[in-house]
C-alpha cells in the first residue's frame, strides 16, 4: 500500500502560518543540501493531496516558472504530479493533472492509497492537514522547522498523537528536518 507523507514548513512553536495565514516568517533561501532533500523526497511521490487555498497558490506559481529558471526542473515535477484537491467551493481546476476529490476525505485517501503508484504527498493549509492528522490518514511527517517562533498562529496538531522519530537533521539555512512515522 502507498504511504501518505506530509511535507510542511512549520515554526519552532508548531504553527504553519500566522493567524491570518501569513507565511512571511518562512525561510526561503534553501541551502543546496535542503533543496536536494526536498527534490529527493518529491521523487518518491506521484500524487499530491491538497486543500483549495494551497492549490490556488501553488498552481499559478509552479505553472509560471520559465524554462531556464533554476526552479524549472522542480516546477516540472510539481506540474506533472497528479493533484487531488479537497474543496467545497471550487467547481473546476485549471492546473494540469488536477481533479476535485470525490467523496469524503477519508474515502478519497483510502481509495488513492489502494491505487498502484508511488507514494502520496500532502501539501495543505492548516485545517486540511489538521483534519487528515486527526483521522490518522497521514503515515509520515516531514516537518521542516523554521528558525522562527510566531507566538500564535494556525496549528496542524489539534489532538493528542504519538510519532516515532525516523530522522532529525539540520541544514545550513537554519531549517531543521524532523521526519516522523505514526507510532
This prediction's pTM: 0.95
Q: Which domains does the chain have, with CATH numbers?
A: 4-9+29-155+167-176 (3.40.430.10)
Q: Which pLDDT belongs to residue 141?
A: 98
Q: Which pLDDT belongs to residue 139?
A: 97
pLDDT tens, 103-129? 899 999 999 999 999 999 999 889 999
Q: Provide the sign of the torsion angle of the four alpha carbons 135, 138, 141, 147, taken in this order.
A: negative
Which residues have a Cβ under 8 Å from the Cβ of 20 and sit 6 or more positions away? none
Helices vs. strands in the chain: H and E counts, helices first: 5, 10
Phi and psi at 180, nearest 5°, equal -125, 155
pLDDT tens, 81-93? 999 999 999 999 9
What's the rounded mean pLDDT across residues 67-73?
94
Q: Which pLDDT belongs to residue 79?
A: 96
Q: Which pLDDT belongs to residue 19?
A: 96
Amino acid at each position: 500500500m502507498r504511504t501518505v507523507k506530509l511535507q510542511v514548513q512549520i515554526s519552532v512553536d508548531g504553527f504553519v502560518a500566522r493567524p491570518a495565514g501569513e507565511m512571511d516568517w518562512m525561510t526561503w533561501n534553501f541551502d543546496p543540501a535542503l533543496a536536494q532533500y526536498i527534490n529527493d523526497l518529491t521523487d518518491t511521490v506521484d500524487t499530491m493531496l491538497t486543500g483549495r487555498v494551497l492549490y490556488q497558490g501553488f498552481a499559478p506559481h509552479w505553472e509560471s516558472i520559465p524554462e531556464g529558471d533554476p526552479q524549472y526542473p522542480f516546477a516540472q515535477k510539481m506540474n506533472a504530479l497528479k493533484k487531488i484537491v479537497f474543496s467545497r467551493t471550487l467547481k473546476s481546476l485549471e492546473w494540469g493533472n488536477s481533479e476535485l476529490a470525490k467523496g469524503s476525505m477519508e474515502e478519497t485517501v483510502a481509495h488513492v492509497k489502494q491505487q498502484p503508484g508511488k507514494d502520496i504527498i500532502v501539501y495543505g493549509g492548516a485545517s486540511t492537514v489538521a483534519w487528515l492528522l486527526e483521522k490518522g490518514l497521514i503515515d509520515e511527517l516531514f516537518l521542516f522547522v523554521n528558525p522562527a517562533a510566531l507566538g500564535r498562529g494556525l496549528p496542524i496538531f489539534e489532538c493528542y498523537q504519538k510519532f516515532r522519530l525516523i530522522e532529525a537533521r539540520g541544514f545550513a539555512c537554519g531549517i531543521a528536518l524532523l521526519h516522523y512515522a505514526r507510532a
